[in-house]
Chain A
Amino acid sequence: MLALFVSALAVAALTWLLGWWGVVVAALIAGVMLWQRRGAPWLVALAAVVAWGALIVVDTFGGRFSVLATSLAGVMRAPSAALLVVTLLFGALLAWSAAVVGSEIGRLARAKSPSA
């Protein structure tokens, strides 16, 4: 749970600082650090969903989110819920794949280290 919380915090913070690349960077780092943990990439993907979901919640605070979502759905010719799902899915896929790559880097680094 702590790993999920910390990962989500990292994804949210780095997204705020770096934009969408923040997810990739945060997931890579999380993957490297959690390489030994079973199912770590899925946890990082979930963290990305939580983080981006939280950022979207922040976007709703002004009360204009539904208007925006409706307009956007009209422009993109897709249901607004689908756009939200695509958003979260995009973040999750980036996070999962980057975390897998990060885990591999972590594993390789561990294998090459003298103490291994």
Chain B
Amino acid sequence: MHTLRLAAAVLVLAGGLFIGARPIGPAPALGAFLEPAHGVWSLARAAASPAAPDARVAGLGAPVEVVYDDRAVPHIFARTEDDAYRALGYVVARDRLFQLYAQTLASSGRLTEIGGAQALPLDREMRHLGLPRAAEALPARVGDTSLVARTARAYADGVNAYIASMPAAELPLELRLLGKRPPKWEPVDSYLLQNRMGWTLANIANERTRTAAAAKVGVAAASALFPDDSPIVEPIQPNGQSAPRFDTSPLPPPGRPDSASELLGAASDAWLSARQLARADDEDAPWRASNNWAVMPKRSATGHALLAGDPHLDLTLPSIWYEVHLVVPGRLDAYGVTIPGLPAVVIGFNRDVAWTFTNTGADVMDFYVEEVDDDRHPTRHRVDGTWRPIEPRVEVYRGPKGETVAVDTVYYTFRGPMQRVRDRWVSLRWSVLDAGREAVGFIEGARARTAAEFEEAMARSYRAPAQNMLAADRGGHIAIRSTGRYPIRAQNGSVVLDGTKGSNDWQGDLPVAKWPQAFDPAQGFLASANQQPMDPRASGIWFGGDYDPWRALRINALLRADSSVTVDDMRRFQTDPGSARAEFYVPYFLNAALRVAQRDTGPNRAVLAEARRVLDRWDRRYTASNTGAVLFEAALRQAAVETWDELAGESGTRRITPSSAVFARLMHDSASVWWDVRSTSQVEDRDAILASSLVSAYLAARQRYGAEADGGWRWSNVHKVNIPHLLRLPALSAADLSAEGGPGTLSPIAIGGANGPSWRMVVELGPTVHAWTTYPGGQSGNPASPRYRDRIPEWLAGALEAVHVPARASELSAAQRSGTLTLRPAR
């Protein structure tokens, strides 16, 4: 009995030690995970009480005081800018350490280290695009002593100081689940993140869709269906018109399929992972967006300049943004949001200037067919008769246990990375791979005293991805410039170029004076919503902006109609449920239903009348309680499917759908051949398609949601916001939330409800700066923290919170403080 008991105990002990020390399958090692003093349960303690109030940071020149306010925003008071960025690294790491870790893995193409082989496509995308290589080469490009490198090192000092002194209880939950420790933060990690943002905001959709369309309906029709210039023009740089200009000319009919340009589509696709391709083809893709606008004192109720900004990005928990205030007396006083990992206040304001961005969507990716010396293992490529070297780079992908998951060789010409595309080597030239001084723009821009100074600071350093940079200042000036690098090309970048000719390379960059821009316009306001930056009639150059124009139309209409804009108006506009798209289309549906009802006596007549009644009653606003939006969205979608049947692929292939702006152009031509559905014997016109779509949509909605009067059609039941955790863990996500807004409104939600306004800010630039902000998440990355998702309710409601902007720590009262931290130089 004694021996048996001993044997059992030894077995239990050995087993306990084994599962305590080693992970089994996806489960972490149980010992460190479960023990209550430092294990996962201690996160509850860490969530409630912040870390030690004192910490040492290597490289600090003097102590830095950090005061957390009642919204958990750290206000950093430092004596030098380098120290401020060191402290920024520290506080960001303290609140968002796992996010830093995960972003670095994603940006450097190392997700296989936590996700294994299933993450390989995402990693290959990053590495084949050359993003990690470009980040590693950045110090050499900008100089190791440059402001960029110095600031990145200071930031890394701060992150690493936190990691070194982190109490065991603060180890993030996700790292515990993965059984990982946070690695040392390197300056290159900041550069990697910057490059990844360049990829996030890259314009990839239009060229590949146009070439796919050309293979079905010919080049002329494809160019009209997927145009560079939008059929609805109300540009960012005011063109002197008081209303949008609609292209009402007929669309060219479908032509003979032309596959000659398919190489361009294939080249674009070659660099994209399946996930990116799915995102590019997503039905909601056009609704990815951002807005910004500013009004001059002459149009504001208080007589001060006002600025609003809401960049739309993927919504995640924790958020991509982290709110912070940096103060260096006499040098810097910037409040706003940083992206964890970037040593900069990206969007925000100081005491004189406020700034915010929308994506320009410039085409800065070109493809070149290369002639190489050896098709299997190329070492040189020919340009103008001269062989130039090709650099191979071996990419090794490691698994969670350090094992090799895959090994690739990526070849680089002087232009950029190469890929095999349809038995040819194609290289990619992309402005993001040459960029690097963007951080200087943010750092110097944050010191600007006027809107013009801000624009100049950004123009000196910022190149990619191009952004519509809006600024307003205390002197009442407003300005916008589509800042970025616009390469001068010998020919259109919408073809795959011959890489053997040097004349096809970029011939320089467009000078700043030619960029779309406006300073203190006569109309008294400026607005951008990713629309075309400049009227093509005036520029002749395509700067980007192939997003749908409806948001731009809406915000311009709102601003034009209000000559005395208040701060609350600015806030209200950000979540305005009105839709220029619905205003445009609904009359067409109503009139079509009326006309078809007069000539059609078929069985659907009663359904059509009822559908028309529901649509007619709708106020064309995407409010929570309305029931018309469900019908309208389904009808418009159905009408597009029926109309663009010429573009339909075989079952399982991707759908190619022209934008709703192009569809709007077609509305003016009621008898266009595009309306005819090829699979039917009769010839349909516009009214027939719109009426039948309305009937189909009504019947489908009734089947899915029940009778309209029963409440199932309420927009809040249908339109949902989903904010996933970075690891897509449902328990740490916020799902199935209701918010107002919809496709084409200023606050759309796209991509499964997980893409939308990621930050909202309104700034009033009076004698004293005032600002109101929010974002869908919270400051802390700890899911147990009360600050993990505390801002989501106010964000959903369209509310903003007034922020504190103390010039000195002492200006924050005890009631306004939630904690303090003193960072001291390491001994």
Contacts and interface: CB of A to CB of B under 8 A. Distances in A.
B117 interface: no
B45 A62 contact: yes
Contacts of A62: 44-45, 47-49
Interface stretch (B267-275, B439-447, B620-628, B781-789): B781-789
A104 B6 contact: yes
A114 to B, nearest CB: 24
Question: In the complex, which of the residues A62, A65, A71, A94 has the most CB atoms of chain B within 10 Å of its own CB atom?
Answer: A71
Question: In the complex, which of the residues B17, B32, B40 has the most CB atoms of chain A within 10 Å of its own CB atom?
Answer: B40
Nearest to B177: A75
Interface residues of A, number: 42
Interface stretch (B8-16, B60-68, B201-209, B637-645): B8-16
Nearest to A41: B9
B41 A56 contact: yes
A97 B44 contact: no
A45 B100 CA distance: 40
A100 B5 CA distance: 8
Contact of B9 (A15, A22, A74, A101): A101
A8 interface: no
Given A75-B732, A97-B11, A100-B13, 20 more contacts: A15-B35, A15-B36, A21-B31, A24-B17, A52-B35, A56-B41, A58-B45, A64-B44, A64-B784, A64-B786, A67-B783, A69-B44, A75-B173, A93-B16, A94-B20, A97-B16, A98-B13, A100-B6, A101-B6, A101-B13
**What's the interface size class on B, roughly?**
35 or more
B31 A97 contact: no
B37 A61 contact: no
Nearest to A99: B9
Nearest to A51: B36
A61 B783 contact: no
A97 B6 CA distance: 8
Chain A, interface SS category: helix
Interface string B708-751: 00000000000000000000011110000000000000000000
A70 B786 CA distance: 14
B172 to A, nearest CB: 12
Interface string B167-180: 01000010001000
A65 to B, nearest CB: 4
Nearest to B169: A59
Question: In the complex, which of the residues A16, A20, A65, A71 has the most CB atoms of chain B within 10 Å of its own CB atom?
Answer: A20
A72 B40 contact: yes
A23 B34 CA distance: 12
A36 interface: no
A96 to B, nearest CB: 7
Interface string A36-75: 0000010000000000100110111111110111111111
A97 B36 contact: no
B212 interface: no
Closest 3 CB pairs of A and B: A62-B48, A74-B731, A100-B9
26 contacts: A15-B37, A19-B37, A19-B38, A20-B20, A55-B35, A56-B36, A59-B41, A64-B784, A67-B784, A68-B44, A71-B173, A71-B731, A71-B783, A73-B731, A75-B732, A86-B34, A87-B36, A90-B20, A90-B34, A97-B10, A97-B12, A98-B9, A98-B13, A100-B5, A100-B6, A100-B8
B382 to A, nearest CB: 55
Contacts of B17: 24, 94
A36 B730 CA distance: 52
Contacts of A106: none
Contacts of B38: 19
Contacts of A15: 35-37
Interface string B21-48: 0000000001110111111111111011
Given A20-B39, A55-B36, A56-B36, A71 B784 contact: yes
Question: In the complex, which of the residues A16, A74, A93, A100 has the most CB atoms of chain B within 10 Å of its own CB atom?
Answer: A100
A20 B39 CA distance: 9
A72 B174 CA distance: 10
A113 B786 CA distance: 59
B7 to A, nearest CB: 10
Contacts of B35: 15, 19-20, 22-23, 52, 55, 87, 91
A60 B8 CA distance: 35
A75 B41 contact: no
B10 A59 contact: no
A93 B11 CA distance: 11
Contacts of A72: 40, 173, 731
Nearest to B39: A20
Nearest to B3: A104
Contact of A59 (B11, B36, B729, B731): B36
A56 B177 CA distance: 19
A68 B34 contact: no
A70 to B, nearest CB: 8
Nearest to B10: A101
Nearest to B38: A19
A59 B44 contact: yes
A31 to B, nearest CB: 9
